Amino acid sequence: MSSLHDCRSCTARLIFFSLLALCGPLSPAQGQRADQKTDQQQAQQAAPSQPAQRPRVGLALSGGGARGLAHIGVLQWLEENHIPVDSIAGTSMGGLIGALYATGRSPAEMRQFVEAIHWDEAIASEPSYPQLSYRRKEDRRTDQIPAQLGLKNGLNGPLGFSAGQGVGLLLDRIAFPYSTLASFDDLPIPFRCVATDMLSGDAVVLKDGSLAQSLRASMAIPGLFTPVELNGEVLADGGLVDNIPTDVARQMNVGIVIAVNIGTPLAGRKELETLGAFLTQAVDIMTLGNDRRALRLADAMITPNLGALTVLDFSHAEEIIHLGYEGAASNAAQLRKYALPDEEWPQYLAQREARKRKPEKSADLLQVSGVSGDEQQHLQRRLQRVLHRPLNLDDLDTRLTRITGDGQFESLDYEGFVQNGVPGLRVVAHQKNYGPPFVDLAVNVDGSGVAAFDFSAGARITFMDVDHHSGEWRNDLLLGSSNLAASEFYQPLGSTHLFVAPYAFASKLPRNEFNGGTRVAVFGDERAGGGFDLGFNTGRRSELRWGYEIFSGKLDPLIGSAGLPSVSGSTGEFRTRYVWDGQDSPSVPSRGARIVANLSRVLQSPGLAHPLDQLDVQTSTFIPTGSKTSLFFLASGGTTFHGTAGPFQLFTLGGPFRLGAYLPEEFVGNHYVYSSLGFRRELYRLPQLVGGKIYWGGWYEAGSAFNDPNTVVVRGTFNLGVIAETIVGPIALATSVSPTGQSRVNFSIGRLF
């Protein structure tokens, strides 16, 4: 485990420039655009009344990623000890927690809110796999490098790892009841958040406008989240210039400023043993002066001892909140002198409660901005169902996430408005500035040693809204051991789930040839042709296609000779294909089932004397048995019914998850059966910007490919392996041993075998 920890620490430091904004400012603030005098006057006019003898208390909450959850514990202790908060200024995560409190939530409600958040999904680069459309799920299974590019203005990508769709919806929910506020002074507690103008380097104090977009800007960590364009400015994380906004809090007409600093402390001597740690320490030292200057403006300071917890440790929310509570308690003597008398506390709470707003219960008007024309009308049609009924924000979040999962929009936000006394809902669409067309990259490495090693790399280029709305032109190119060039035009028919899809392809794939248990040749399986499909797409989980395909094929020895002549000729077949995908991941699911069924009627093909029918069904099911463990069952089978398959129709077995102790295509026949039973368990979690989880697992396989059902020989394989979800796709390593003594070590990169 120590080596894993060292790996994680080293990787995290190599990306410290992206994370730095969560920890502290890079340089002194060059200027703040809030007018201090005007700000003080507005705060004074809007502030709830309180006894004249009591000085107003302002709170300054620093940024710090997951460490910022400690602010909740601090606020809980302040409430329990009757210490009022008359205004809040926050940066980055401090802005998010500060806004939760400023909009009227109690610390207990705040705790429930953040603990219900799936943080991995909230900061992911796109919606979770179940929320993607079926077409985008196909992309993720084919090209599993999670780094989409675009060709809109030359080859480039997004300005951040994540567009923040998940985080944006959280902020929309916080701000929704206050969508029509003229100023953040009108919140139950007056509020400010700080962002950085990336064009001038100035600090920007956000005090009115869209609360959700202001928070989004304050949290837009460069490299992690895309920046926010607001009022003509390009805004990013406020921690770059003012991570502990005591100066902003001081400007809000307060007499007392309490600063909460949850920044990462300097590392000790023992931690400075790697280049990454030393460079990170150097940057932290450069920012230390800014933090010290900010803290000099505070009358009281709370610095929770968060130990080695990092800016990405959202899974430790409960522990971080508790440490924040203890941090405040350790300063009890200094803080209690600002407490209200017990008899005045209920009056303070009542005044704050009176300023709370409840969200509209329904919406009767819908506005869609950010797009126009057919795209705007299409979004309006998809969102009409939310009108004239009780407004369910969970349902709205799901609808907007699924639309984002279609792949064309970077994010979708919402807010309320009132027009002539009628409540409405405004949805703001943010299109991706780098595409379409979009580029998804693929790197596929598969091997069982030097004698069986395949490497291929390529890309999928997708043009969207071709000819008509939702039309897609998909183009695949793969070069290396396997070669493929393919193109498909996909066009839905009107507003139905029906579609047409003409396509063309050319491919050359390696194919092993065996004599008994000995590989005697590697053939090149060359095919070039096309087809036309009519289909039905349910949107997210399944697709059914009917079509006709024709291709010219050739089997020619590349390495060695099997003593067999080359085979060539034309193949034509009618095909029916059904796919159901209810799993939660394209690489290592934890739950759900997937079914792929192909039924074909082959009219002609080399080696066929008569037309034949074939059926091939493949299934995989994952069942969770705990938070980290799942059982899985794979079963598949194929038959040529009563015919004899030609060279292009033979079923094969062998290779990883097809009898891993044997080479690919080691067994062939007119029919085959296969099954596997095993488990996978989470072993380790990589940093968010490096990948996902690492799993280990074990499974047993059994199967046979045969011509005569009376001569079936069932072969088995025991397997033990490790699979890691990384930024280049899944990386897998497995040892496979058969009961009869065959063994192999299989590995893959970019695709799960």
Residue 255 and residue 261 in contact, taking contact as beta carbons nearer than 8 Å: no
pLDDT value of position 333: 92
pLDDT value of position 620: 96
pLDDT value of position 417: 93
pLDDT value of position 40: 46
Query: What tokens appear for 469 in the block?
Result: 């709305």
Query: What tokens appear for 189 in the block?
Result: 């507690």
Mean per-residue pLDDT, 83-100:
95
Residue 649 and residue 686 in contact, taking contact as beta carbons nearer than 8 Å: no
CA distance 713 to 736: 19
CA 656-662-667 angle, 5° bins: 105
Within 10 angstroms of residue 153's Cβ, the number of other Cβ atoms is 9
In 265-364, beta strands by DSSP E: 300-302
Within 10 angstroms of residue 362's Cβ, the number of other Cβ atoms is 13
Q: What is the pTM of this model?
A: 0.83
pLDDT value of position 283: 62
pLDDT value of position 159: 77
For tokens 């030292």, name the residue.
285
pLDDT value of position 446: 87
Is residue 630 part of the annotated active site? The answer reads no
Mean per-residue pLDDT, 69-82:
96
Of 220, 241, 215, give the one whose Cα is nearest residue 94: 215
Query: What tokens appear for 134 in the block?
Result: 């079926």
pLDDT value of position 177: 94
Supply the DSSP symbol for 153.
Answer: T
Query: What tokens appear for 281 in the block?
Result: 């320490």
For tokens 């969102």, name the residue.
383
Q: Does residue 30 carry a pLDDT above 50?
A: no
CA distance 733 to 726: 14
Q: Does residue 27 carry a pLDDT above 60?
A: no
CA distance 422 to 116: 32
CA distance 108 to 112: 6
CA distance 575 to 550: 11
CA distance 371 to 428: 8
pLDDT value of position 681: 96
pLDDT value of position 300: 94
Q: Pick the catalytic residue: 185, 237, 242, 440?
A: 237
Q: Does residue 560 carry a pLDDT above 70?
A: yes
Judge residue 514's burial from the number of C-beta atoms within 10 Å of its C-beta, 0-12 exposed, 13-18 middle, 19 or more buried.
Answer: middle
User: Which one is predicted more confidently, 411 or 504?
Assistant: 504
pLDDT value of position 467: 65
Is residue 738 part of the annotated active site? The answer reads no
pLDDT value of position 305: 92
Q: Does residue 415 carry a pLDDT above 50?
A: yes
Q: Does residue 31 carry a pLDDT above 50?
A: no
User: Residue 272 — φ and ψ, nearest 5°?
Assistant: -90, 55
For tokens 């028919």, name the residue.
493
Supply the DSSP symbol for 359.
Answer: P
Of 566, 570, 485, give the one whose Cα is nearest residue 523: 566
pLDDT value of position 120: 76
pLDDT value of position 10: 36
Q: What are the Cα distances from residue 584, in Å, to 66, 398, 544, 590, 695?
A: 25, 16, 20, 7, 15
Cα torsion 158, 474, 585, 413: sign? positive
CA distance 87 to 255: 11
**Residue 401: pLDDT band by 50, 70, 90 thresholds?**
very high
Query: What tokens appear for 472 in the block?
Result: 């897609």
CA distance 147 to 164: 15
Cα torsion 179, 181, 183, 186: sign? negative
Q: Does residue 699 carry a pLDDT above 50?
A: yes
Within 10 angstroms of residue 709's Cβ, the number of other Cβ atoms is 10
pLDDT value of position 115: 86
Q: Pick the catalytic residue: 9, 92, 456, 470?
A: 92
Tell me whether strands 256-260 and 300-302 are parallel, antiparallel or unpaired.
parallel
Of 245, 240, 241, 265, give the one whose Cα is nearest residue 257: 245
Query: What tokens appear for 620 in the block?
Result: 């995989």
For tokens 């203890």, name the residue.
326
pLDDT value of position 56: 94
Mean per-residue pLDDT, 2-24:
37
Q: What is the pLDDT of residues 215-234, one digit of tens each?
A: 999 998 887 788 898 888 99
Mean per-residue pLDDT, 80-102:
96
CA distance 121 to 529: 41
Contacts of 177 (CB under 8 A, 6+ apart): 103, 356, 357, 358, 359, 416
CA distance 102 to 177: 12
CA distance 562 to 560: 7
Q: What is the pLDDT of residues 662-693, one digit of tens each?
A: 999 999 999 999 999 999 999 998 876 677 89
Is the link from the previous residue into 127 a cis peptide, with omega within 30 of 0? Answer: no
User: Which secondary-structure segment (H or E) carries 487?
Assistant: strand 483-492
Query: What tokens appear for 717 in the block?
Result: 């394989």
CA distance 476 to 486: 5
pLDDT value of position 57: 96
Helices 317-329/107-115 angle, 10° precision: 150
What DSSP assignment string belongs to 640-658? -TTS---TTT-EEE-STTS
Q: Does residue 290 carry a pLDDT above 60?
A: yes
Supply the DSSP symbol for 550.
Answer: E
Of 216, 186, 190, 218, give the one whose Cα is nearest residue 205: 218
Mean per-residue pLDDT, 340-359:
93
CA distance 321 to 315: 12
- Mean pLDDT, the chain, whole residue set: 87
Query: What tokens appear for 328 in the block?
Result: 């405040």
CA distance 82 to 76: 10
Q: Does residue 44 carry a pLDDT above 50?
A: no
Q: Does residue 753 carry a pLDDT above 60?
A: no
Contacts of 260 (CB under 8 A, 6+ apart): 59, 60, 61, 62, 70, 71, 74, 94, 301, 302, 303, 304, 324
Query: Among 145-154, 167-176, 204-213, 246-255, where is mean pLDDT lowest?
Result: 145-154
Q: What are the Cα distances from residue 302, in Å, to 61, 180, 286, 426, 499?
A: 10, 34, 22, 40, 61
Of 639, 649, 645, 593, give the one whose Cα is nearest residue 616: 639
Judge residue 178's burial from the number of C-beta atoms within 10 Å of its C-beta, 0-12 exposed, 13-18 middle, 19 or more buried.
Answer: buried
Q: Does residue 399 carry a pLDDT above 80?
A: yes
Query: Among 11-25, 109-123, 172-186, 479-493, where is mean pLDDT lowest?
Result: 11-25
Residue 529 and residue 507 in contact, taking contact as beta carbons nearer than 8 Å: no
CA torsion 579-581-585-587 (nearest 10°) is -20
pLDDT value of position 143: 76
Residue 63 and residue 23 in contact, taking contact as beta carbons nearer than 8 Å: yes
Beta bridge partners of 644: none
User: Which one is predicted more confidently, 230 or 21?
Assistant: 230
Amino acid 54 reads: R
Query: What tokens appear for 518 in the block?
Result: 């000995």
Query: What tokens appear for 464 in the block?
Result: 């969207």
| Contacts of the segment 678-682: beta carbons below 8 A, 24+ positions apart | 678/631, 678/632, 678/719, 679/625, 679/629, 679/630, 679/631, 679/632, 680/588, 680/629, 680/630, 680/632, 680/723, 681/628, 681/629, 681/630, 682/628, 682/629
Residue 668, helix vs strand vs coil? strand
What DSSP assignment string belongs to 362-391? B--EEEEES--HHHHHHHHHHHGGGTTSB-
Residue 339, helix vs strand vs coil? coil
Q: Does residue 9 carry a pLDDT above 70?
A: no
Residue 535 and residue 554 in contact, taking contact as beta carbons nearer than 8 Å: no
